[in-house]
Structure 1
Amino acid sequence: MTTTSTAAEALAAGSPFAALRDQLLTAAETFAADAADAPDAVSGILAGIVADVDRALREPLEIFPVCHHSPASALAMARRLREKQPKVIYLELCEDLRPLLDELRNCRLPVALQAFASDLDGFPPGWGPLSVVAPITEASAEYQAIAYALDTPGVEIVLVDRSSDHVFQWLPREPPAAAPQAGEGEAEDASLHGDAVGIEIGDLRPGFAELEEHLLHHGKVRHWSEWWDQYVEQPLAGADYETYRQVMVLIGSLFRRLRPSASSARSDRRDEDRERYMWTRMREHLAATGADPAECLYVCGAYHAASRVAEFGLHAEPTDYAIEPRTATRWLYGLIPSSHSAIEAQFGLASGSVSIAAATWAKALAASGVKPYRLQGQQGGKSGKRPKRAPAPAAPAPAEVTDRLSGFLARPPALSGLDEAELLGWCVDIVRLARRNGYLASTADAIAVFETSILLAGMRNRARPTPYDFQDAAVTCIEKDVVPGRRDVRRLCEILLGGDRIGQVGYHALPPLAQDVYDRLAPLGLDLTKRTQQRALLDLAADPDLEPCSQLLWMLRYLLPDGAVRPIMGARRLGERPIQESWDLRIGAHQREIIELGYEGVTVEQVLEQRLRRSVWDPQATPAVALKAVEDAILYLGSRRFTDELGARAVELLAAERTVDDAPEVLRRIRRLLAHYRSTEPELPAWCESFVTEGYAHYCTLLPTAFVAEDTGVRQVGAMLGFLFSMEGLALSLGCDRAQLEIAVRQSHPEAPAKVALLWAAQTQLGMMTQAELRARCAELMDNPLVLPAFPQYLSGFVQALEPVPSLTPFVVELLSTAFGRLPDAVLLPWLPTLITTLRKESPELVPVLVREAGRTFPASLPALDAWTPPWSARAKGAAPSAGPSGGGGPVAALLAAHPAPTDAVAALLGIDAPWAPAAPGAGEAAGHPEAAALLAAHPGTATAVAALLSPALS
C-alpha cells in the first residue's frame, strides 16, 4: 500500500470538502496515536479520498458514477436524465459496439452485446476464437442512458471505452499458447455467454481480500452482494443526486486506494490505460462536434470516476499518450441472449443477486414514482409513439458543489420499517412453491419463516428483513435436511423473488444465417423461440416438402452442441433415404450458438463447408479425418465439386502419412465410400482411384516396418492387410503391381506372436502357405511347452486376421475350439478375460463373424452334440489323399461322380462336347475324356480343397 504526497492530495481553494478532510485527518491521527506506524498512511488515504471526490465533482464535464446492475444507479440515472436532458452521453462501453445499441429494441432483456473473432491476425493462435460480451439488464444505469439517447430526438450517445480489439491487446501474453485470462470485470462463463470475456460498467469490489473479509464480518453478511445491497443500495435508493454522486465516488476512491500494490500493478495499469483512452476519445469528440460540455454527461464506473491519470478532465495538460492502432483481426458483432445466472457467473456475483436487484428495482420504481426510460418497441414493453424531446432548458449555470458526505457519513441511514404485507406474501408464496416441489410444508412453516426472518434481521441490526434474511429463514424452517426434488429451498426463493430471467434476441436483430434458419424451419409449425423442448414429426413420404427441413436439421445437429436438435427416429447414412423422422428441438435455448454460426457465414451450408474445409487443412489432419469430411459432405451438402476437393486432400494426406495409427478408420471409411459410389455412380471418382492406388503402394511400403514396430498395434497391421487384400482387385486394375505386395510380405519378419499369426494369414492368402501347412504350424505351437503360454497371443492375431483374410473364419473357429480343449487351465483361464476384452474393444465387428461360423459348425441341440464329431477331427482321421484328382476311389472322383452337372457345364465352356463320364474304379484318367483329365491334373488344388471340405459328407 502506497501513499501520495500532500501536494497531490491538496484540495482546490475554497473546496467545500476542506472541513471533512480536516475531520478525517484528525480521526486518523487519533486512530494511529497508539500504533507503531506513523499516521501518514491512514491520513494520506483519507485525504486522497476527499481530494478524489472534490476533483470529480469540479470537472466541467459532469461525471455520473455507476455500479453495474445497480438499482440505485439506475434510479439516480432516470432522475438525472429527466432533470438535465443532456444532448450528448459518453458511455463507458467498447466503442466498436455502438451499432448494436439500435438493435436492443428488437430484443427481450437481458441480452449481451457481443464482438466475435475467429480469424486472428496479431494475436497468438491459441487464443481463438475471441469473444467479448457486455450484458445489459433493465435495472442498470447504462440501459436507462441508452434508452433515453435512442428514443429522444437530438441526443447522441458515444461509446468511449477501448475497442474489443484493445481488450485483448492489453491482456498478458505469457505463456504464448495459453488462452486469454480475464482480469477485473472480465471473467469466463460456461453458460449463455460461453467462453467470452465480459465487460461491465462500474466493477465496485475491494481488491484487498482482507478488506472484503472485514466488511463481511462486521456487516454480518455472507457475501459481497449482500453487503452491497444492505449498506449501499438501500441507503442510496432514496438519496438526492448530489449525495449519490459523492458517495459513489467516495466508494470508488476507497476501493481504488486500498489495493495491494504487488498484486494489482497490472490491473492498475490496465485501468489507467482505459481512463486515458476514454478521456482522449471524449476530448476528440468535443473538439470535432463543438458540443457544450455543460450539456454532456459522462457515465462511467465509480472506480474510474476517481481517476488520477494526467489525462483526467477537459483542462488536462497535453500528454504523449497515443491510442494504439487495432490489429488486422476481423471482428463480427451481434446480440446474444443473456440471463441473470449468466451475469452472476460472468462477474463472480452471488447466486440470485441479479434477480434480487431486479425485484428491488421494481419495488423502488413503485415506491418513488420515478418513470424509467424504456426503448420504444422493446419486447415485453408497451407499444406507443416515440416521445418527443421536451424543450431544452436554458444552459444551467454550474451548480455549486456542497458537502453532502459529512452529513451522510455522520448520521445513520433512514431505515424503513417492516413491510409486513410484503414479508407475509413471501412466506405464503414460498410455502406454496415448496409444496409444488415435493416439500411437506404447511401454514405453520409460513408462520415460522415470517418470525425467523424478523429474528434474523434483528440479530443482524436490520430494521426490516432483507431478501437474504428471508432466504436463510426459509432454508432453516422448510428444507430441514432433505431435498425431495431438483430444487432446494434457496433456489425456490430465487424463483420467487424474480427467477432467472432469460433474454431473447428478436428476429430482426438476428444475423442473416439465424433468420434463414427460422424461415426454413417454419413449415414445421413450431414456435422455435420457446426455450422448452418440442417434438417435430416429419412424414417425408406423405409430405416431400419437409425434406428441406430434414436436411437443415441434420446440418444443425452437426454444427450445434448436443441437445439443440436431437433425432429420435431416423438416421443419416450413405445410401439411405429416411421415410419418417422424429426430432426433439430446443432451438430457443441455443439461440446464442445459432447467432455465432452467423458470424461464420451467411447460410448454414456455407458454415458447414468452411468447417469441413478447415478440418482437412488443419496441420493435425489425417487421412481418416479427410475421409470423414468427404462422407459428411456427401450426406449434408451433396456438392460433387466440393467432395472431389476434399477427396483430393485425403489423397495428399495419405501420401504424406508416416504412421498407420488411423489405418482401421481409413479402411472402414474408404470401403463405405467405394460401396456408395459403386451403387450410385456409373464410375468411381478420380480421387477414389487415386486413393486406392496411393494407399496400395503406401501400405506395401510401410508393411515390413509396421510388422516389427513396437508402437504399431496388431489392429493397425490387420487394417493395412485388409486394405491391401480387399482393394487388390481394384488396385491391380488401376495399374498397381501385385509383386510389390508379395515382396513386402516376404520382407516382413515380426517377432510378436500376434503379428506372426497375421503374417501367416497373409502368406496363406497370397498362396505362399497352404492351409494344411498353417494347421501343422499351429499344431507344433500347441505341442511345444515353451510356446504354450504365448499361444493365446497367436490366437488374438488370428482373430485380427479375419479382417484381411475372412476365408480363415472356419480355421479360426477350429483353432479356438482346439485351444479350449487342449490348453491347460493355468494358461486358458487368465487368457479368457483378455480375449473377451480384446474382442470387445478392438474387434467388435469380428465377433458376429465368429459367432455365425460357430453356429454353422456346432450342432444346435444337446442330443446332437453327444454324437457330433468336429469336422477337423474327421479330416485328421481320414484316409490319405488320392493320387490324383481323377484317380479312382478318391474323394475327388466320388465328388465328380455324384455331381456331374457342374463338370459338364465347365466342359461345355471349354469346348468339350461329350458329357462327363467318370472312369471306372482303378482307371488312371476319365475314360474317353483326356482333355478333362489333363485339366484336373494340371490344376488339382481347387478340386482337392473342395473335396477336403466335403470329405465328412462324402465319407
Structure 2
Amino acid sequence: MTAGPFGELRTQLVGAAEEFVGPDALGGILAGIVDDVDRALAERLEIFPVCHHSPASALAMVRRLREKQPKVIYLELCEDLAPLLTELRNCRLPVALQAFAAELDGFPKDWGPLSVVAPITESSAEYQAIAYALETPGVELVLVDRSTDHVFQWQPREEAAPAGEHTEDGDLHGDAVGIEIGDLRPRFAELEEHLLHHGRVRHWSEWWDQYVERPLAAADYDTYRQVMVLIGSLFRRLAPGDARRVTVDEDRERYMWTRMREHLAATGADPADCLYVCGAFHAASRVEEFGVDGTGDFVITERTATKWLYGLIPSSHSAIEAQFGLAPGSVSIASTSWQKAVSATRLATFQLAGQKGSRKKAAKAKAPAPAAAPAPVADKLSGYLATPPEPLGLDEEELLGWSVEIVRLARRNGYLSSTADAIAIFETSILLAGMRNRARPTPYDFADAAVTCIEKDVVPGRRDVRRLCEILLGGDRVGQVGYEALPPLARDVYDRLAPLDFDLEQRTIHRALMDLAARPELEPVSHLLWMLRYLLPEGAVRPIMGSRRLGEKSIQESWDLAIGRNQRAIIELGYEGVTVEQVVEHRLRRSVWGPQATAAKALAAVEDSIVFLGSRRFTDELGARAVELLAAERTVDDAPEVLRRARRLLAHYRATEPELPAWCQDFVTGGYAHYCTLLPTAFVDDESGVRQVAAMLGFLFGMESLAISLGCDRTQLELAVAQSHPEAPAKVALLWAARTQLGLLTVTDLRSRCDELLANPLVVPSFPQYLSGFVQALEPVPKLAPFVVEVISNAFARLPDPVLLPWLPTLITTLKEHAAEYVPLLIREAGRTFPATLPAVDAFVPPWLARHPAQVTAAATGSPGAGSAAAGGADRPAGELLRAQPATTDAIAALFGLPAEWREPAGTGAPSNPAARALLTTHPATIEAVAALLGA
C-alpha cells in the first residue's frame, strides 16, 4: 500500500527493514507507525498531540491557537474537574486540581481516602489551551477524559489503590493518584535502556530534552504533529503485552471519543472548528471509536455513590517530578526553557486575567475568526527524519553566567569553591557535551560538570551541588492557591488568624508571641491554633511556649506558624467540614466509632472534646461510647492508659463540676465489675504483663470507695483476689500486695515471706522478679513504699553479685519508664528513711534492723549474739589465730585506719587488738574458715 501522503515513507521504511533484518515483524511495526500517523492526521476533528510539561508542546499550542482560533477545545482531563478551572485565576502556578473522597460507597473500604490530582504549570500546552478558552469570548472548553470516579472503578479490586511516591519535596501531592496529559515514556524497558545508552544520558527526561524537545521547539506545526504522533505510535506498538494496562488505555480513548461525539451531536458544532488536545500516546489510537465517524458502541458506566469533593492544592516542580518519575530538576529546566523561548521568539502567550505570579500582561481576548479550510496533509516526516538538526552554537555568555553563579551558591552553602572551580565547570561542561555528541552543553551537562568540579568529597550542608544546580536553573517553584479559590474552612482559618497581622500566604515560618493576659482578644486565636495543631501535620503549627490540657490555661504563648507551607493540608480540612470545630468533632466521632476503637481511645477523645469543643452533649456521647467499649474488651492491654485517663477525668470533674456526669459514674461501676471479672485470668495469662495487672489493681483500689458508693460490692473484689493463683514471681508479689491492701495479709507476714525467699538458695536467683513485682505494686498500693524501700535495701545487702548485677538494668529501665508514678514515692520514702548527712551514716541503723535490738547490740559491741563472734574470746580458734599472727592483724588495722595497739583485757592472760575485734565482729565466718584451713 503506497497511497496517501506517507506512501513513499512507508515504502522506504518497509524496504529498509527487509534489507537489514529480512521479512519479519519489524517491517510490519514500521508500516503500522506510518499508518497511525496517516490516520491521526486524516481525522476531520483536528488532534493536537502533546507531552506533559513540554515547552515545545506549549509553543506549538500557542502558535496553533492563534492561527486556527478554534471555537471548541476538547481537553484530555477528568471531566468532573471542569468547575475548578475558573479558579486558576486566583492562584499562583504550579497548582494541582484535586478530587478527594473520604467516605467511600462502591469501593473497598481499605482504599480510602481516595485522591486524584492533575498538576498545572505555565509551561504546559494544557494551560495555554485553558487560558485561551477562558479568556476568549465564544470559546467552549470541554473536558472529555474519564471522571475521577471511573479512575478507581477501573482499578482491579484485588489491588490496593495506586499511591504516589513520597519524597521530602514531593509531599505536596501526598499519596494522591496523578493524572497527566501526554505520558510519553517507553513502556518497554529494553527500548528505554537502549535509547539512554546510545544517547549517552542518564535519565529519560534528559534524552527527551536533547532529542525531541529542543529540535521540535522551532519546528513548524505540521512537522510537530507528525513527529509527536510518530513517537506516540512507536512507544505504543513497542509496549509489553500488559493486557490490563492496554485495556485501560483503550477504554480511556473510547471514553473520550464517545464524549466528543455526544457533544458534537448535542451542540451541532462543526468538527473543523474544534481542537482535540490529548497525549501523543492516545493520538495514535486504533480503537473502533476513534474519530468523529467512529463505529464503536462503548457504554459509559454510571458513577458510584461516592461523594467527591473538589478543590485546588499547591503544587511544586519537585512534587510533579516525584509523582511522575521525572528526573530531579527537569520541570524547572522546562520552565526556564519556556521563558527563554518566549523571550527569544517574542511570542504572545495566553494568560488568565489576574493570574498571580504572572510576569506579563494577559493578551487581549478576541472572538475566534472563522476557521480556514484545512490544508492538505503533506509529508514532513521524511525530511525531518533524513535531515539532521541544525547545530546550535555555544552560548558562552549563558554558560559562563551559570558557572559563576553556581560557585557563588556553593560558597554560600559551605563549599570551598573558588574562581578556579568556575573555570573548571565551564570547560568541563563543553568537554562533556562533546563526549555526548552535542554541539552545545545542556543544563544536564552543566549539572554533571558542577558536581564533578565542586563536590569533591562530602556534602557540607543539607543541599548538595545537584540541588544547587536545580535552584540555579529555575528553582523549585511552589504554587499557591489564592484566597478566593480556597474552601470555606480555609478562608475561615485565614480570617480568624488575621489578628496576628502575618502574611500567611508566605512560605516562611512566622513566630507568634501572644500575651493573653494583656490582649484577651487573642484567646480565640490561641484556641484555633491548638485545634490546628491537633488536626494538621506535625510542624504546621508548633507551640514553643504554653500548653493546653485539662484544667490548664496559658497566660503567655509562643508559636511557630508554617501555614503557607501547609496550605494543602488546610485545604483538605475543608473537605471534611465547613469549620475547624466541625472537623474536630468529625475526627473524634470517627476515632471512637471506628473498627480500631478502644476504651482508652474513647477516653482520649473525651479529653480532647473538653479541651477543644466544650460541648457537654458531645462529651457525654463520647463518654457513653467509652463505657460500651470497656465492657466489650476481652483483654487488659490498655489498662494502664485507661487508668491514667480515668484518674485525670475524675480529678477534672471533681474540681469543676458539682457532681460526676452519668457516663463517668457508669464507667467507674462498669470498670470495677469488668476488671474484677478479668483479674483472675489476667494473673495467670502469660500475655498479660505485670504492668497491665498492676493497672487493673490500681483501678480497683483507687476507685474502690467511689465504686462502692455507687452501688458496687467489695466482696466481688475479694473473691477475684481469692480466685487468683499466679505462678510468675512478679505477679505473685502483686497478689501479696493486693492481699495486704485488702487486709488479708499483714506487712509482718509479707516481710517474713521475703526473708524466707532470701534464705532459700533455690529462690534467690528469681528474687529480683519478686522485687520487680513489688515495685509495680506501688501503683495500686502506694502505702507499701516503706516496705519496698526495705526490700530493695535488703536485696542490695544480701543478694550475691551474679544475681544482683544482671537485674540492675531491668530495675533502672522500669523506674525510668514509670518515673512519674514510682520514683517520687520511692525517693520520698528513702528520704524519710536514710540519714540526710554524711556523718550520720556511721551511726545509722535501718528501722527494720532496729526491731531486733539483740542483734544490733552484738554487732555494735562485739558481745556474743546471733550470727556474730566474740572478738576477744580465748575459747574461739579465730581469736587464737589473730593473736598468733600479730603482724597480719597490724597490717589489716593499718589498711582500715585503726590503731595497731595490743592490750590485755581484764581477766585474761592474752593480749587483744581492737582491729581483731572489729574483724571478728564484721566477718566472723571468714575468719573461722581461714582458721579451719590452717588447723587453728
Pairwise same-fold verdict (TM > 0.5): yes
Q: Which residue of 328, 333, 336 maps to 1:356?
A: 333
Counterpart amino acid of residue 811 in structure 2: L
How is 1:737-752 mapped onto 2 (pairs within 5 angstroms)? 737-752=713-728
Q: Which residue of 311, 317, 320 maps to 1:334?
A: 311
Aligned to 1:226: 206
The 3 A distance-change label for structure 1 pair 612 and 839 is: same
How many Å apart are 1:479 and its aligned residue? 2.2
- 2:657 is the alignment partner of 1:713: no
Indicate if the aligned counterparts of 1:116 and 1:333 stay in contact, CA closer than 8 A.
Answer: yes
How many Å apart are 1:187 and its aligned residue? 6.0
The 3 A distance-change label for structure 1 pair 717 and 188 is: closer
Indicate if the aligned counterparts of 1:705 and 1:748 stay in contact, CA closer than 8 A.
Answer: yes
How many Å apart are 1:415 and its aligned residue? 2.2
Cα distance in 2, alignment partners of residues 448 and 779 from structure 1: 82
How many Å apart are 1:386 and its aligned residue? 7.6
The one-character-per-residue Cα deviations of 1:931-953 (angstroms, maximum 9, x if unpaired) are xxxxxxxxxxxxxxxxxxxxxxx
Aligned to 1:255: 235
Cα distance in 2, alignment partners of residues 362 and 814 from structure 1: 81
Structure 1 segments unaligned to the other structure (5+ residues): 1-9, 34-38, 880-955
Of 859-868 and 425-434, the range deviating more from structure 2: 425-434
The 3 A distance-change label for structure 1 pair 805 and 47 is: same
Counterpart amino acid of residue 251 in structure 1: I
The 3 A distance-change label for structure 1 pair 509 and 562 is: same
Aligned to 1:115: 99
Counterpart amino acid of residue 17 in structure 2: A
Q: Which residue of 526, 537, 541 maps to 1:565?
A: 541
Cα distance in 1, alignment partners of residues 358 and 206 from structure 2: 30
Aligned to 1:861: 837
How many Å apart are 1:414 and its aligned residue? 1.6
- 2:50 is the alignment partner of 1:66: yes
Aligned to 2:712: 736
Aligned to 2:127: 143
Aligned to 1:307: 285
Cα distance in 1, alignment partners of residues 400 and 123 from structure 2: 25
Indicate if the aligned counterparts of 2:351 and 2:363 stay in contact, CA closer than 8 A.
Answer: no
The 3 A distance-change label for structure 1 pair 487 and 382 is: closer
Q: Which residue of 106, 109, 114 maps to 1:125?
A: 109
Of 567-576 and 56-65, the range deviating more from structure 2: 567-576
Aligned to 2:217: 237
The 3 A distance-change label for structure 1 pair 691 and 789 is: same
How many Å apart are 1:840 and its aligned residue? 2.3
Q: Which residue of 777, 781, 793 maps to 2:757?
A: 781
The 3 A distance-change label for structure 1 pair 876 and 618 is: farther
Cα distance in 1, alignment partners of residues 412 and 728 from structure 2: 66
Counterpart amino acid of residue 775 in structure 1: R
**SS of structure 2 residue aligned to 1:700:** helix
**SS of structure 2 residue aligned to 1:116:** strand
Of 833-842 and 347-356, the range deviating more from structure 2: 833-842
Aligned to 2:571: 595
Indicate if the aligned counterparts of 1:335 and 1:505 stay in contact, CA closer than 8 A.
Answer: yes
The one-character-per-residue Cα deviations of 1:649-674 (angstroms, maximum 9, x if unpaired) are 00001111111111111000000000
Counterpart amino acid of residue 738 in structure 1: R
The one-character-per-residue Cα deviations of 1:587-626 (angstroms, maximum 9, x if unpaired) are 1101111111110000111001000000001122111010
Indicate if the aligned counterparts of 2:349 and 2:363 stay in contact, CA closer than 8 A.
Answer: no
Cα distance in 2, alignment partners of residues 673 and 486 from structure 1: 45
How is 1:794-943 mapped onto 2 (pairs within 5 angstroms)? 794-841=770-817, 845-877=821-853
Aligned to 1:201: 181
- 2:434 is the alignment partner of 1:450: no
- 2:623 is the alignment partner of 1:676: no
Aligned to 1:514: 490
Cα distance in 2, alignment partners of residues 320 and 426 from structure 1: 56
Aligned to 1:949: none
The 3 A distance-change label for structure 1 pair 866 and 589 is: same
Counterpart amino acid of residue 536 in structure 1: A
Indicate if the aligned counterparts of 2:69 and 2:371 stay in contact, CA closer than 8 A.
Answer: no
Indicate if the aligned counterparts of 2:606 and 2:622 stay in contact, CA closer than 8 A.
Answer: yes
Cα distance in 2, alignment partners of residues 490 and 383 from structure 1: 30
How is 1:98-109 mapped onto 2 (pairs within 5 angstroms)? 98-109=82-93
Of 666-675 and 520-529, the range deviating more from structure 2: 520-529
Indicate if the aligned counterparts of 2:200 and 2:436 stay in contact, CA closer than 8 A.
Answer: yes
Instruction: Give identity over the alignment, percent.
Output: 78
Aligned to 2:226: 246
How many Å apart are 1:844 and its aligned residue? 5.1
Cα distance in 2, alignment partners of residues 290 and 76 from structure 1: 28
The one-character-per-residue Cα deviations of 1:326-367 (angstroms, maximum 9, x if unpaired) are 111110000000000000001000000000000110111111
Counterpart amino acid of residue 761 in structure 1: A
Q: Which residue of 291, 298, 321 maps to 2:276?
A: 298
Q: Which residue of 400, 408, 424 maps to 2:384?
A: 408
Indicate if the aligned counterparts of 1:188 and 1:197 stay in contact, CA closer than 8 A.
Answer: no
Structure 2 segments unaligned to the other structure (5+ residues): 856-936
Cα distance in 1, alignment partners of residues 228 and 583 from structure 2: 47
The one-character-per-residue Cα deviations of 1:510-564 (angstroms, maximum 9, x if unpaired) are 0001111111011011111111111000100000100001001001111111110
How many Å apart are 1:385 and its aligned residue? 7.9
Cα distance in 2, alignment partners of residues 362 and 784 from structure 1: 88
- 2:376 is the alignment partner of 1:387: no
Cα distance in 2, alignment partners of residues 386 and 217 from structure 1: 44
- 2:191 is the alignment partner of 1:181: no
Aligned to 1:47: 31
How is 1:569-648 mapped onto 2 (pairs within 5 angstroms)? 569-648=545-624
Of 424-433 and 151-160, the range deviating more from structure 2: 424-433
Counterpart amino acid of residue 876 in structure 1: H
The 3 A distance-change label for structure 1 pair 633 and 211 is: same
The 3 A distance-change label for structure 1 pair 831 and 385 is: closer
How many Å apart are 1:843 and its aligned residue? 5.8
- 2:8 is the alignment partner of 1:27: no
Aligned to 1:652: 628
Cα distance in 1, alignment partners of residues 617 and 235 from structure 2: 62
Cα distance in 1, alignment partners of residues 165 and 147 from structure 2: 17
Counterpart amino acid of residue 692 in structure 1: V
Indicate if the aligned counterparts of 1:337 and 1:504 stay in contact, CA closer than 8 A.
Answer: yes
The 3 A distance-change label for structure 1 pair 697 and 876 is: farther
**SS of structure 2 residue aligned to 1:575:** coil
Cα distance in 2, alignment partners of residues 45 and 455 from structure 1: 38
**SS of structure 1 residue aligned to 2:583:** helix
Counterpart amino acid of residue 226 in structure 1: E
Q: Which residue of 484, 490, 510 maps to 2:460?
A: 484
How many Å apart are 1:481 and its aligned residue? 2.0
**SS of structure 2 residue aligned to 1:582:** strand
- 2:671 is the alignment partner of 1:695: yes
Cα distance in 1, alignment partners of residues 819 and 685 from structure 2: 21
The one-character-per-residue Cα deviations of 1:443-471 (angstroms, maximum 9, x if unpaired) are 22222222221222122111111111111
The one-character-per-residue Cα deviations of 1:693-720 (angstroms, maximum 9, x if unpaired) are 0011111111111111111111111111
The one-character-per-residue Cα deviations of 1:45-91 (angstroms, maximum 9, x if unpaired) are 00000000000000000000000000000000000001111111000
Q: Which residue of 257, 267, 276 maps to 1:279?
A: 257
How many Å apart are 1:482 and its aligned residue? 3.4
Count of aligned pairs between the two proteins: 853
**SS of structure 2 residue aligned to 1:487:** coil
Cα distance in 2, alignment partners of residues 861 and 388 from structure 1: 92
Cα distance in 2, alignment partners of residues 461 and 606 from structure 1: 62
Cα distance in 1, alignment partners of residues 212 and 576 from structure 2: 44
The one-character-per-residue Cα deviations of 1:559-591 (angstroms, maximum 9, x if unpaired) are 111110110000111111100000011011011
